[in-house]
Amino acid sequence: MNAGDVRNISVVGAGLMGHGIAQEFALAGFRVFLHDVNDEKLARAEENIGRNLGMLSAMGLVTGDAAGTLRSNLTLGTGLAEAVAGADVVIEAAFENLTLKQELFRGMDRAAPPHAILASNTSTLLPGALASATHRPDKVLVAHYFNPPYLLPLVELVRHDGTSDETVRVMFDLLTKAGKSPVILRKEAPGFIGNRLQAALFREALSIVEQGIASAADVDTVIKNGFGRRLAAAGVFEIWEIAGWDLVMAICENLFPSLESGSAVSRVLKEKVDRGDLGTKTGKGFYEWTPESIDALKKRIAKMLVTIAQEQQGGHGITGINHLNAGRKEIGRR
């Protein structure tokens, strides 16, 4: 199978990530079946997709015609077998629980066509553990999106020892065609690339707060108004190439010994969880939250992501939205 043969995509799990993944493929002209366990969750997914389209439309990134195309390409349902029966590619986006995901992969394996690729959007579980629940380990891999998937172009493709080169190639080409920026990990590793890097930064940020060096708000200010702005334009290796590796080595020799390297969860984080200060979901974390401030934060993040994407028009733009018309025409000719 080649990426050009892929017409039908099933997304299993309509929550935080799943509805956005389904939305993006449907906008790109693919026939998409979005599955979840009950009608209430599917109704919520429809509301979220409508809200996303409203935001993208207000920013001039999608048209009314595009929204109509999405709705005509999208089917929702609660039957897993029905959802994957005609799929060329299945992307699982259920809750991060190995037992649950293995059960889903067993069901997907039974009901999906023999040629179908089974991918998981897991951010922490290794693909080998999911492949072991199927009779097609060569067609199983991780396709890890970042939130929100319709605004962030990155997808990490993680293979296990038994994943075929063809499976990786088809997924890479399919995602590229849909306007994403996929990367391929050379081997399985917990956290893949993105979450390993994010966790390392977060561990040091927590340590800075725990040691009383700075407040959480000041740490965020340093990231937002300092190196975080550079990282939108250039990666860490590109940035340090400019500085020169002799200077970088001198910095590392002086700084690395004082950086946090412990394997235990931060005390300050554990205290927050023990108190029930879970962030926006409870109204308090390191900050105090109201419905208005939560909405403002989400809009600020979305607006900045769109602005960055528009500045990168030479690349993929807003995760494929710049390619939608061409994609729909191409798929329509098949």
**Chain segment 303-321, per-residue pLDDT in tens:** 898 888 777 754 444 444 4
Do 173 and 40 lie in one domain? The reply is yes
Q: Residue 8's beta-bridge partner residues?
A: 31
Do 24 and 88 lie in one domain? The reply is yes
pLDDT in tens, 165-189: 999 999 999 999 998 999 999 999 9
Domain interval for residue 261:
194-227+255-311
C-alpha–C-alpha distance, residues 120 and 103, integer Å: 13
C-alpha–C-alpha distance, residues 314 and 332, integer Å: 26
Do 39 and 166 lie in one domain? The reply is yes
Do 119 and 161 lie in one domain? The reply is yes
Position 128 scores a pLDDT of 96
Structurally, how many domains does the chain consist of? 2
Residue 27 confidence (pLDDT) above 60: yes
Position 212 scores a pLDDT of 97
Secondary structure of 12-59 in the HEC alphabet?
Answer: ECCCCCHHHHHHHHHHCCCEEEEECCCHHHHHHHHHHHHHHHHHHHHC
Task: Read off the pLDDT of each residue in 119-130 and give the average, rounded to a whole number.
Answer: 96
Task: Look up 188 and say whether it is catalytic.
Answer: no
Task: Look up 144 and say whether it is catalytic.
Answer: yes
Do 133 and 25 lie in one domain? The reply is yes
| Among 57, 181, 195, 322, the one annotated catalytic | 195
| Among 156, 188, 207, 316, the one annotated catalytic | 156
Task: Look up 156 and say whether it is catalytic.
Answer: yes
**What's phi and psi for 157, nearest 5 deg?**
-100, 120
Cβ neighbours of residue 285 under 8 Å, at least 6 residues apart? 272, 277, 278, 279
Task: Look up 195 and say whether it is catalytic.
Answer: yes
Residue 236 lies in a domain: no
Starting from the edge strand earliest in sequence, which strands make up the sheet with 31-35, in order?
A: 74-77, 31-35, 8-12, 89-92, 117-120, 140-145, 154-158, 181-185
Cβ neighbours of residue 243 under 8 Å, at least 6 residues apart? none
The whole-chain average pLDDT of the chain stands at 91
| Among 19, 35, 144, 323, the one annotated catalytic | 144
Position 127 scores a pLDDT of 97
Residue 290 lies in a domain: yes
Residue 210 lies in a domain: yes
Residue 331 confidence (pLDDT) above 90: no
| Among 8, 121, 123, 207, the one annotated catalytic | 123
Residue 242 lies in a domain: no
Task: Read off the pLDDT of each residue in 205-231 and give the average, rounded to a whole number.
Answer: 97
C-alpha–C-alpha distance, residues 294 and 300, integer Å: 10
314: helix, strand or coil: coil
Which position has the token pair 């250039």? 234
Asked if 124 and 198 count as a contact pair (C-beta separation under 8 A), the reply is no
